[in-house]
A and B are shown apart, each in its own frame.
Chain A
């Protein structure tokens, strides 16, 4: 059964959560992004954030351990309890995508300590195509707006505890997201060398904006950072991108994805084909952030749509 809350009571509800949890929610600065809330009034729920949530699970730089005098000092992973409020269906599914590949303790701890509260997407824009990506229902709580109320679906015990004091709903409100855009074909494995890609490759600057804004892009390097004056330092995990030439470089200087074409296609194929072969799920969640962030307005979704596959859709 769903719970209900008056829309005007939402800020008070969030405020009450902030007593016991660190609450992360979308805010609007120059662009919409997730931040640790200081005031519930800062929340901005009208549009999808351009910056994805991933930095709160995969920080740009993250210490794996410290060392001094050639001895490792174990890094204590912080166990702060967190709630993320206002996640779209695409954002929630992006975490499922990461869960299948991220296995190091710092990530797992952050996931376990975080309660996920979703919000129905009222206004998908021209870049959204989440309905094409076979997304799952995955949340602790999920809010549907209807009239002057939110109807709240409960997805876990942790979620149920947060809303135990709210009234039960008299009816059930569930809505399907409306998309304007569609990815019509995912069976593109044999189209890797298709000429249709050439125009996108020509426009690509290898700037890596698509991978920075993608909520499921997680590629990283492991590096040592040394204190200059002392015999100490730390080993860090630092975000990287397959669009950078150096990403496929090995000792001696050989680069395995030398061409811009091979790097651009690696991004698209990883999202639609490569990850799917391993996990039978798509790595792309259809949020459209790569399309919004692209400085040369590459629309690989339309490129795929223009590739007519004889065999039709895979699934």
Chain B
């Protein structure tokens, strides 16, 4: 009974401890089971716009296409441009346009995966919407989460965007061919990233010159054969 006026209103407090994104996580768990059954390993690539996700994918496809069949889901707020670039490399690709939204969610990936399913592939790359913050909260059902930082962005990125590094397993420092031209401290970025996630595997590379790329490719080959 209400303590103020004696009316019949009743209150109830419920302790929940429920994840805000519980629904997304349920779908992500279903995606993960589905991928497992099909023997497909999934990589979620997260970075700010222009960090080189698409360029990295192009180089990765070039290097691995004779060894491992691959497919790509491209997330962008608008346009098919990135999907076009990947299509030119002869790999099945689905573009998801989020209509302005800043991240992909598990349901969008589920739908995109069904569009790809008729193809045979063992590695599926999901290029998330270019944004270093928002995609980090959304599990897509991936096996490996990779966060990219490019040299022109500056070495303090992990300190500014800890969420992306906290939930990733791998961090790629991209465009290291530009190191001579930027005030970018490789040691600092590694130190800052490990302060947020001590288990993070950090690989500096350049998709343009190929430096460091072999470590990334090795990691993918190991993942695919697991």
A binds B: no
| B interface residue numbers (CB < 8 A to A) | none
